[in-house]
């Protein structure tokens, strides 16, 4: 399975170090949609536009157009995307399939709601059932498929196959995501 992951990259860091492409910020997690602080989670998407839209949603209410500087931070980190591959035997449940939700007794609304208590309870339930992760629809666009991976279960099974690539306003995927979100870009 190939996925795309957005992250704040420190170019001098190795992939598993803080600021690296495969680093799972376990100690910083807790407020995210499917966070489980004990295991940590790594979020990915099947479509790079979905991953980039997750970044751009933070700029939706700006009256100004966004420029390249919005992808850069004073601490030296930059917004980047990486293509990763899950290797080996990985047990991922597809929560986009109604039958799977029925079999697991999970309410569909609990997957992508903004109520973190509900979404994190779904994540914990799937973790306790022995899954390595799960697919779910994006709260931004239901046709986009996101994947939540449980860090302790996929550690060592995630490999970088392309990137990291610093996001820039000339990238076709950034342009597409911005258009979809109604965000204007400026050079």
- Within a domain: residue 84? yes
- Within a domain: residue 112? yes
- Within a domain: residue 157? yes
Distance CA 75, CA 10 (A): 9
The parent domain of residue 21 ranges over: 2-181
Which tokens is 134 given?
Answer: 């799960």
Single pTM value for the model: 0.89
- The confidence score (pLDDT) of residue 99 equals 96
- Within a domain: residue 127? yes
- Within a domain: residue 107? yes
Provide the number of structural domains found in the chain.
Answer: 1
Q: In what order do the strands lie in the sheet with 78-86?
A: 92-94, 133-137, 145-150, 41-45, 2-9, 78-86, 158-166
Q: What is the pLDDT of residues 163-186, one digit of tens each?
A: 899 999 999 999 999 999 889 898
- Within a domain: residue 187? no
- Within a domain: residue 186? no
């Amino acid at each position: 399975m190939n996925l795309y992951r957005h992250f704040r990259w420190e170019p001098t860091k190795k992939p598993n170090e803080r600021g690296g492409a495969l680093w799972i910020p376990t100690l910083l997690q807790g407020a995210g949609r499917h966070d489980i602080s004990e295991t940590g989670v790594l979020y990915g998407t099947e479509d790079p536009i979905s991953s980039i839209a997750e970044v751009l949603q933070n700029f939706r209410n700006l009256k100004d157009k966004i420029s390249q500087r919005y992808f850069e931070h004073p601490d030296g980190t930059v917004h980047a995307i990486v293509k990763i591959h899950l290797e080996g035997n990985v047990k991922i449940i597809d929560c986009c399939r109604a039958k799977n939700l029925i079999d697991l007794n999970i309410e569909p609304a609990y997957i992508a709601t903004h109520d973190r208590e509900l979404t994190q309870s779904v994540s914990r339930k799937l973790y306790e059932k022995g899954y390595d992760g799960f697919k779910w629809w994006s709260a931004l666009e239901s046709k986009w498929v996101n994947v939540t991976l449980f860090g302790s279960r996929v550690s060592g099974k995630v490999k970088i196959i392309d990137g990291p690539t610093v996001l820039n306003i000339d990238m076709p995927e950034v342009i597409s995501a911005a258009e979809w979100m109604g965000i204007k870009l400026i050079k």
